[in-house]
Structures are given as structure tokens and as C-alpha cells.
Amino acid sequence: MAYIKKATRYGNTGKAHSQKPNADFIKNSVTPFDFYRHELPAAPLKKPNWNNGGLCPFHADRTPGSFLVNLTTGAFKCYSCGMAGGDIVAFVMALYGLQFIEALAKLADDWGLL
Ligand SMILES: [Zn+2]
């Protein structure tokens, strides 16, 4: 289960901490499939493109069906509350209230990158 492995490869200098995570590198390293399986463990995610994402994490959702995630592009959309974005970075920004760079850093840390 690679996704729970924390970043441990910083080396001795610590210089990696000050590097800005690269969006392309992160998006190439963390597939939307792995990402959403981790973020939405209860959702029946199986096929390419749009899947039922289960309960929407952006509003007090009690009836699955309106929240969709795209396992090919990472896009997400809720037809109930209107929250939507184009990739997993946008999802992390929206869910955790982060700026773009902060979301990249969280992804890099969560997925053991850099
Ligand atoms: Zn919603």
C-alpha cells in the first residue's frame, strides 16, 4: 500500500524540503485511480472516466449519486452542491482549503514523493 508510505527520502541535507513540488511530476506519480481509492474508500470506483464517487465530501451528503469523480483525468463534480474541479490537485485544494503550492506539498508528503 504505497499510498500510506510517508516521505522518508529527504536525505541528510534537508534541501528537498525547500524544493517546490512539481505539479506534472505529482500528477504523473499519483494516478486519479489510486488517489480517489484512498480519499473515497467507500466509493465503488472501478471504471475509466466518470464514476459514482459515493457521498460528496464537500457538503452534508446523505444520498450517494450526485458526486462523480473521473478516474482518467482526476476531475470531480457534485451535481448537488456544485463543487467541481479538473484534477486531483484541485480536489486537495478544495477539500483542505489549500493554495495550489500547499496542495502540491500535501500530495508530495502524503504519497511519499520528492
Ligand atoms: Zn456536494
Residue 90 or residue 19, greater confidence: 90
CA 19 to ligand 1 center in whole angstroms: 34
Mean pLDDT across the chain: 87
pLDDT above 60 (res 2): no
CA 100 to ligand 1 center in whole angstroms: 21
Look up the pTM and report it: 0.81
CA 73 to ligand 1 center in whole angstroms: 19
CA 59 to ligand 1 center in whole angstroms: 5
pLDDT above 90 (res 15): no
* Domains parsed from the chain with CATH numbers: 20-110 (3.90.580.10)
In sequence order, what E strands does the chain have? 50-52, 67-70, 76-78, 84-85
CA 43 to ligand 1 center in whole angstroms: 14
State pLDDT tens for residues 36-91: 999 999 999 999 999 999 999 999 999 999 999 999 999 999 999 999 999 999 99
